[in-house]
Amino acid sequence: TAKEKGRNLCCVYEDQMNEHITEKIYMTNNIRKALSNDEFELYYQPQVCLKTNKIVGVEALIRWNHPEEGIISPGKFIPIAENSGLIIPIGEMVLEKALTQLQLWRKQGYSQLRMSVNIAAEHFNQSHFANTVQTMLENARVPAKQLELELTENSLLKNTGLTTNTLHTLRRMGVHLSIDDFGIGYSSLSYLRHFPLTTLKIDKSFMNHINEKEKDRALISSIIHLAGSLGMRVIAEGVETKETFQFLQQEKCDEMQGFYFSKPMPAADIEKLLKNYYF
């Protein structure tokens, strides 16, 4: 009967929910263990100047070297880390590893290389966030102007006094602040208006269909001009094709990153690229 069917559906739903919750708890525990076992590694993706075709920066992207499952991408565990508070220790570990690596590269002669680090909203909105960054920069002996923090709409959404203060403090220190995934949010323009951001990263969903999609071309070039007239640096992310690369060059986009130049790679592989392509 319909009633029985209803109950069955309900049971199935409950089972799935329990499974879902169990899975989450399981993952949370695993992430915690992974932190103490140092199973996280940073990969780096070059950011290339479109005028010189040289590497001017790298973005740190976290990977989980799971002992049984191999490399797990951030999409699979960052959301769970965000919901469980573990994103704070993860974020601090990422900052520390990224700055330590940057200092190593500076000593190898890549003295002006820039390091971009993704920061989750919950981490950014901690009241002492700017202080923590300051301390980490001092410990690593890296100049603040070589660090760029990539924020998303979520970090800026609340637009509280705290958000604004943190952004201004970081800017006064010299840290670069970028808005990641620009163009897919709801009110991106108001962020540009309210906050002292230095850099705009055009979301990858606009790239790679520029041949078929006139609108994508129009949007990309408008965003580039918008950034230019606001005095912001503009980076295109997710660039996979020669056509897109050349289009961005022609439109005078400042920098690009994407598979067309290089995938994110471990530090040792990035060093091989730096040898030939550092600016």
Residues 66-85 that bind ligand C2E (CB under 6 A): 73-75, 78
Q: By C-beta, is 78 or 137 nearer to Mg ion?
A: 78
> What residue 75 binds from Mg ion, ligand C2E, none (CB within 5 to 8 A, per partner kind)?
ligand C2E
> What residue 24 binds from ligand C2E, Mg ion, none (CB within 5 to 8 A, per partner kind)?
none
Residue 89 within binding range of ligand C2E, rule CB under 6 A: no
- Smallest distance from ligand C2E to CB 73, Å: 4
For residues 219 and 206, the answer to whether their CB atoms sit within 8 Å is yes
Q: Kindly tell me which residue out of 148, 216, 237, 251 binds ligand C2E, with binding defined by CB under 6 A.
A: 237
Residue nearest to ligand C2E (CB): 258
Q: How far apart are CA 209 and CA 184, in angstroms?
A: 16
Residues 134-193 that bind ligand C2E (CB under 6 A): 150, 180-181
For residues 48 and 260, the answer to whether their CB atoms sit within 8 Å is no
Q: How many CB atoms lie within 10 A of CB 212?
A: 9
Residue 180 within binding range of Mg ion, rule CB under 5 A: yes
> What residue 57 binds from ligand C2E, Mg ion, none (CB within 5 to 8 A, per partner kind)?
none
Closest CA to 216 of 190, 241, 199: 241
For residues 98 and 117, the answer to whether their CB atoms sit within 8 Å is yes
Cα four-point dihedral sign 21, 26, 30, 33: positive
- Smallest distance from ligand C2E to CB 174, Å: 21
Cα four-point dihedral sign 240, 243, 249, 251: negative
> What residue 92 binds from ligand C2E, Mg ion, none (CB within 5 to 8 A, per partner kind)?
none
Element holding 118 (H helix, E strand): strand 114-118
Q: By C-beta, is 1 or 240 nearer to ligand C2E?
A: 240
Tell me the window of 19-27, 104-112, 118-126, 210-218 that interacts with ligand C2E (CB under 6 A).
Answer: 118-126
Residue 57 within binding range of ligand C2E, rule CB under 6 A: no
Cβ partners under 8 Å of residue 13, min gap 6: none
DSSP letter, residue 112: T
For Mg ion, the binding residues (CB under 5 A) are 118, 150, 180-181, 237
